[in-house]
């Protein structure tokens, strides 16, 4: 298959983890005879530094003409502590989502059997957890009207949803539940918010056309509790933009590291794949960031184009790295493996793709990988 992939590595650790995801994709190309082309563009703080714009026109144009976008991370502390900053790196990602109509953000959360001891939660609680969050991504409080009064003492953000915005993602979530375990949980705050009541009305109506899927409703405060009390009860969670943002970070605790979580943002004509983690500026350039989330985002990209076997090979290689302890320090304190070592191991494993690689740990430690 030929694919044009736009690479937006962004800020902080973005470029480092992105490099590993590209290695994995190149290994897939080599293994399966595909032909992917990669073009880079800037976004976020680095784009503000260069062009005074977190999403330059050129970047947007490249994304529009690409088949898929691979995204690194966005954000820089120099903007976080300056509430008066007019231009912020995050605006680049938000505008990209809006301009490309990436309304469905899909965030799978799963425990890796080899990592159950990594989570701060008890093994008995998290074992067997496997659910996916469908987060609405282009509406709600993120994009509603923002106001601040003249003397800067009163501010508001409007949370607005239309029936159309709710129903298009609801259909995707119901379909996903149908292909999984037939359970969909709508998370909202319908006891307080009018917008949540609209979500309930629209989603329950759509539910009638998916009779095999059982629809549950959960208030977001209770959902936040259930997620760490009994996460294996969930199959597909459907929710609005901000609740999904918050719950997906909470969900990352289950797997033991946010460095493991991938996501896909899907629209009608475009698709973007990105790790859930942020730009982790303290680790920038340190070769310690976990590249797994980025590599698994590349696996989701492959799945999006129905390259299921290829995606499976990537996932197997990731599992192998976890099993063999070829992991970054967030998963194993004091680990001697860095971002690029883990990336090399996974790419090598994809190329080899047979059961016992007899990988020489010493060579990996020295970065002497067979493919780069």
Instruction: Specify whether 221 is catalytic.
Output: yes
User: 191-215: string of b/e by CB count within 10 Å (b at 16+)?
Assistant: eeeebbebbeebbeebbeebeebeb
Taking CB under 5 A as the rule, does residue 240 contact Mg ion?
Answer: no
Q: How far is the CB of 276 from Mg ion (least distance, A)?
A: 7
| DSSP strand pairing (130-136 vs 155-157) | unpaired
What is the Cα–Cα distance from 244 to 225, expressed in whole angstroms? 14
| Position among 11, 76, 240, 245 found at the interface with Mg ion (CB under 5 A) | 245
Instruction: Specify whether 39 is catalytic.
Output: no
Q: Which is nearer to ligand IPM, 75 or 267 (CB)?
A: 75
Taking CB under 6 A as the rule, does residue 262 contact ligand IPM?
Answer: no
| Position among 90, 130, 157, 319 found at the interface with ligand IPM (CB under 6 A) | 90
Query: Residue 338 touches which of Mg ion, ligand IPM, none (CB < 5 to 8 A by kind)?
Result: none
Q: Which is nearer to ligand IPM, 60 or 93 (CB)?
A: 93
What is the Cα–Cα distance from 144 to 142, expressed in whole angstroms? 6
Q: Which is nearer to Mg ion, 71 or 210 (CB)?
A: 71
Query: Residue 74 touches which of Mg ion, ligand IPM, none (CB < 5 to 8 A by kind)?
Result: ligand IPM
Closest by alpha carbon to 252, among 221, 229, 289, 277? 277
Which segment (79-87, 151-159, 241-249, 310-318) binds Mg ion by CB under 5 A? 241-249
- Please classify residue 120 by burial: count the beta carbons closer than 10 Å to its beta carbon, then call 0-12 exposed, 13-18 middle and 19+ buried: exposed
Catalytic residue among 221, 308, 336, 368: 221
| DSSP strand pairing (236-239 vs 130-136) | parallel
Instruction: Specify whether 336 is catalytic.
Output: no
Q: Which is nearer to Mg ion, 73 or 326 (CB)?
A: 73
Cβ atoms of residues 293 and 256 within 8 Å: no
Instruction: Specify whether 53 is catalytic.
Output: no
Cβ atoms of residues 251 and 133 within 8 Å: yes
Q: Residue 302: which residues within 8 A CB-CB, separation 6 or more?
A: 25, 28, 308, 310, 311, 314
Instruction: Specify whether 117 is catalytic.
Output: no
The size of the interface with Mg ion (CB under 5 A), counted in residues, is: 1
The two structure tokens encoding residue 93: 């990602």
Q: Phi and psi for 7 in degrees, rounded to 5?
A: -105, 115
Query: Residue 351 touches which of ligand IPM, Mg ion, none (CB < 5 to 8 A by kind)?
Result: none
Helix (H) or strand (E) holding 249: helix 241-255
Residue 372: C-alpha distances to residues 207, 321, 367, 368 (Å): 48, 17, 10, 9
Which segment (64-72, 88-96, 190-198, 328-336) binds ligand IPM by CB under 6 A? 88-96
Taking CB under 6 A as the rule, does residue 74 contact ligand IPM?
Answer: yes
Query: Residue 93 touches which of Mg ion, ligand IPM, none (CB < 5 to 8 A by kind)?
Result: ligand IPM
Residue positions annotated with a catalytic role: 142, 189, 221, 245, 249
The residue ranges that bind Mg ion (CB under 5 A) are 245
Contacting positions for ligand IPM (CB under 6 A)? 74-75, 90, 93-94, 245
């Amino acid at each position: 298959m030929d694919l044009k992939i736009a690479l937006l590595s962004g800020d902080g650790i973005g470029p480092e983890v992105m490099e590993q995801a590209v290695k994995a994709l190149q290994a897939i190309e080599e293994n399966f005879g595909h032909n992917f082309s990669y073009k880079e563009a800037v976004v976020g703080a680095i784009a503000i530094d260069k062009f005074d714009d977190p999403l330059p026109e050129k970047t947007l144009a490249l994304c529009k003409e690409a088949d898929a976008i691979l995204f690194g991370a966005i954000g820089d502390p120099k903007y976080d502590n300056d509430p008066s900053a007019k231009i912020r790196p995050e605006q680049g990602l938000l505008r990209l989502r809006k301009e490309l109509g990436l309304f469905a953000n899909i965030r799978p959360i799963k425990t890796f059997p080899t990592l159950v001891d990594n989570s701060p939660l008890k093994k008995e609680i998290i074992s067997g957890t496997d659910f996916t969050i469908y987060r609405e991504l282009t509406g709600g409080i993120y994009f509603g009207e923002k106001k601040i009064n003249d003397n800067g003492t009163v501010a508001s953000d409007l949370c607005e949803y239309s029936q159309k915005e709710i129903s298009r993602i609801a259909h995707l979530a119901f379909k996903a539940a149908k292909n999984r375990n037939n359970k969909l949980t709508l998370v909202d705050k319908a006891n307080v918010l009018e917008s949540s009541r609209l979500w309930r009305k629209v989603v329950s109506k759509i539910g009638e056309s998916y009779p095999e899927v059982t629809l549950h409703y959960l208030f977001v405060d209770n959902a936040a509790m259930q997620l760490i009390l009994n996460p294996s009860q969930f199959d597909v969670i459907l929710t609005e933009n901000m609740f999904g943002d918050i719950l997906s970070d909470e969900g990352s605790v289950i797997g033991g590291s946010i460095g493991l979580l991938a996501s896909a943002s899907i629209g009608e004509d475009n698709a973007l794949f990105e790790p859930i983690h942020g730009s982790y500026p303290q680790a920038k350039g340190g070769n310690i960031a976990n590249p797994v989330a980025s590599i698994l985002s590349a696996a989701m990209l492959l799945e999006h184009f129905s390259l299921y076997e290829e995606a499976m090979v990537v996932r197997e290689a990731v599992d192998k790295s976890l099993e063999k302890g070829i992991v970054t320090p967030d998963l194993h304190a004091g680990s001697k493996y860095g971002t690029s070592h883990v990336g090399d191991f996974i790419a090598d494993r994809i190329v080899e793709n047979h059961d016992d690689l007899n990988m020489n740990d010493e060579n990996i430690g020295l970065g002497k990988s067979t493919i780069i």
